[in-house]
């Protein structure tokens, strides 16, 4: 059997000692943060939004180019209706209050996740945010909303299968590259670094395809306590990682 090297991935790490280009956040622990203080869980979500604002600012300052935030999963609908409706309200307020400021700061917003079953009011707000900022060239803020990675992968598979059935493409044209492009994240580079707060050690259906060679950073702080210093620590930890993509370090050759 002859095995050829993968044509698309560099064997040698190009990011070691450097800033990650794309950082994805699983912003977890809002509820526990609030409960530990005798507050309702919703207070944790409110405080978590403050953290998000400071992390967006900091990402731009330190030169991260893309951040993806897991804001609401396709499974989060299983929470009590009161919490779900609070989270929807928070998202609306975030877009209404912060959109013009983000636009002025040249932030480009992109939404990933299922759209077909969304409340029309929320959908139009999200689309407005994308449309307004479409031509911005600064930090790219990817908001994973009603997002589930398995559903995203299924949508991509169905889309490509449909194109084969319609005679638009041949079966052999379903390559890794074509598949990546058909995901909601099509056109974005894979995340270099995925940070999850609150001590949980799982992906919870986040970027399963895209995380193939991501570096992971798990942090015990709950999201409302995650600050610029904690972000810097994650970035510096990333800078010391050696990414090999299945190959070998230059030193070992
Ligand atoms: C993350 O915090 C925010 C969302 C999932 C929307 P959680 O609400 O999951 O907080 P914990 O994990 O229950 O503490
Ligand atoms: C993942 O957190 C989703 C978001 C952060 C939006 P969850 O709190 O929903 O994940 P599980 O249930 O602990 O796996
Ligand atoms: Mg949680």
Q: Is residue 161 a part of any domain in this protein?
A: no
Map tokens 């620590």 to a residue: 233
> Strand, helix or coil at 248?
coil
Q: Is 4 a residue whose pLDDT tops 60? A: no
pTM: 0.93
29 is in an annotated binding site: yes
**More confident call, 16 vs 76:** 76
Q: Is residue 113 a part of any domain in this protein?
A: yes
Mean pLDDT of 42-47: 98
Cβ proximity of 29 and 72 under 8 Å? no
CB-based contacts of 47, cutoff 8 Å, min separation 6: 30, 33, 34, 224
Residue 109 CB–ligand 1 contact under 6 Å: no
> In total, how many domains does the chain have?
1
Catalytic residue among 28, 98, 184, 192: 28
Buried b vs exposed e over 212-239: b needs ≥16 C-beta within 10 Å?
Answer: eebbebbbeebbbbbeeebbeebbeebe
Could you confirm whether 184 is annotated as catalytic?
Answer: no
What number of other Cβ atoms are within 10 A of residue 99's Cβ? Answer: 17
pLDDT value at position 7? Answer: 40
Read off the tokens for 179: 């598949």
DSSP symbols for 6-65? PSSS-SS-S-TTS--SEEEEE---HHHHHHHTT--HHHHHHHHHHHHHHHHHHHHHHT--
Cβ proximity of 102 and 60 under 8 Å? no
Please give the Cα distance from 8 to 19 (Å, whole number).
21
Per cent of the chain over pLDDT 90 is 91
> Strand, helix or coil at 159?
helix
Q: Is residue 114 a part of any domain in this protein?
A: yes
pLDDT confidence band for 17 (50 / 70 / 90): low
* Ligand 2 atom nearest residue 147's Cα: 6
Q: Is residue 47 a part of any domain in this protein?
A: yes
pLDDT value at position 252? Answer: 78
pLDDT value at position 250? Answer: 77
Report the CATH number at residue 91. Answer: 3.40.1180.10
Q: Measure Cα distances from 43 to 33, 83, 223 in Å.
A: 9, 11, 12
Q: Is residue 34 a part of any domain in this protein?
A: yes
Domain that holds residue 236: 22-148+191-241
Q: Is residue 253 a part of any domain in this protein?
A: no
Please give the Cα distance from 111 to 132 (Å, whole number).
13
Alpha-carbon Rg of the chain, whole angstroms?
19
Average pLDDT of the chain, as a whole number:
94
121 is in an annotated binding site: no
pLDDT confidence band for 8 (50 / 70 / 90): very low
**Nearest alpha-carbon partner for 26 in 182, 221, 229:** 221
Model pLDDT for residues 119-139, shown as the tens digit of each residue: 999 999 999 999 999 999 999
Q: Is residue 154 a part of any domain in this protein?
A: no
Could you confirm whether 166 is annotated as catalytic?
Answer: no
77 is in an annotated binding site: yes
Map tokens 């939404």 to a residue: 111
Q: Is residue 13 a part of any domain in this protein?
A: no
| Beta bridge pairs of residue 215 | 193
pLDDT confidence band for 14 (50 / 70 / 90): very low
Residue 27 CB–ligand 1 contact under 6 Å: yes
Identify the residue whose C-alpha is closest to ligand 1 atom 3.
Answer: 28
């Amino acid at each position: 059997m002859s095995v050829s090297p993968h044509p698309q991935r560099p064997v040698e790490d190009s990011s070691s000692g450097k800033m990650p280009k794309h950082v994805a956040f699983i912003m977890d622990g809002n509820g526990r943060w609030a409960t530990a203080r005798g507050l309702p869980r919703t207070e944790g979500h409110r405080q978590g939004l403050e953290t998000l604002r400071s992390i967006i600012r900091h990402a731009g300052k330190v030169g991260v180019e893309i951040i993806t935030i897991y804001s609401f999963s396709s499974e989060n609908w299983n929470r009590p209706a009161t919490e779900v409706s609070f989270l929807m309200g928070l998202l609306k307020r975030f877009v209404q209050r912060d959109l013009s400021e983000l636009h002025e700061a040249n932030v480009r917003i992109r939404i990933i996740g299922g759209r077909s079953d969304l409340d029309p009011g929320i959908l139009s707000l999200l689309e407005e945010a994308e449309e307004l900022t479409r031509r911005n060239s600064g930090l790219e803020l990817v908001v994973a909303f009603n997002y589930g990675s398995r559903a995203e992968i299924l949508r991509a598979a169905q889309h490509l299968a449909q194109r084969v059935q319609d005679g638009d493409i041949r079966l052999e044209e379903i390559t890794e590259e074509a598949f990546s492009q058909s995901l909601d994240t099509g056109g974005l580079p894979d995340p270099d670094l995925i940070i999850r707060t609150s001590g949980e050690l799982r992906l919870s259906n986040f970027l399963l395809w895209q995380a193939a060679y991501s570096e992971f950073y798990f942090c015990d702080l709950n999201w409302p306590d995650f600050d610029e210093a904690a972000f810097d620590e994650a970035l510096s930890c990333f800078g010391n990682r050696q990414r090999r993509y299945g190959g070998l370090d230059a030193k070992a050759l």
